[in-house]
Amino acid sequence: MPEIALPHLPLGGGCQCGAIRYEIGAAPAAFYICHCRDCQRQSGSAFGQSLQVHAESLRVTGAPATFARQAASGRSMHCLYCPDCGTRLWHVRAEGSPFVSLKAGTLDDPDWLRPCAEIFTDRRRAWVTVTPAPPLSYPGQPDMEEMRAAFARMLA
């Protein structure tokens, strides 16, 4: 399993125009690639990149806007984005969760990340190859506990 070095905390990031900024004060729980149609639409690409972080470790400056949508799991999700530039920043379960799913491309420095999993691979575009392949792969809904454990093992 590839090892990754966590940069010094806090990790910073924000939207394209700079109106929303955030800091993550604790090590992320998981980083994964999602091939579901919602992530493809949201990213405007072949997949989305999600960094699962502890909600209490996320500090935000600025006022993100929110809309709700139904996830492939059937759960209702709150999607937070910048009302000025439209950058999607993170998702959180409407019924509450100790984690938020941060859009990893909004980090100031995402280069250190290595995915622990690919999910919804049954929706992956035929021409997409992730190299090196993440340790875990799920054709549909993932086992988040297994993903968090795999990511923890990857952190050096």
List all residues 6 or more positions away from 34 whose beta carbon is below 8 Å from its beta carbon. Answer: 47, 48, 49, 50, 118, 119, 120
Statement: residue 1 has pLDDT above 80? no
Q: Is residue 150 part of a domain?
A: yes
Domain membership flag for residue 93: yes
- CB count within 10 Å of CB 110 equals 15
The pLDDT of residue 42 is: 86
- Determine, yes or no, domain membership for 3: no
What is the domain extent for residue 19? Answer: 11-154
Map tokens 């090590």 to a residue: 27
Instruction: Answer yes or no: is 6 within a domain.
Output: no
pLDDT single digits (tens) 105-139: 999 999 999 999 999 999 999 999 998 999 999 99
> Is 51 domain-assigned?
yes
CATH number at residue 97: 3.90.1590.10
Question: Is residue 138 in a domain?
Answer: yes
For residue 56, the tally of other CB atoms under 10 A from its CB is: 11
pLDDT digits (tens, 9 = 90+) for 19-53: 999 999 999 999 999 999 888 988 889 999 999 99
CB of 118 within 8 A of CB of 33?
Answer: yes
- 2 in any annotated domain: no
Q: Which of these, 23, 4, 119, 118, lies nearest to 62 by C-alpha position?
A: 23
As for how many domains the chain has, the answer is: 1
Q: Is residue 60 part of a domain?
A: yes
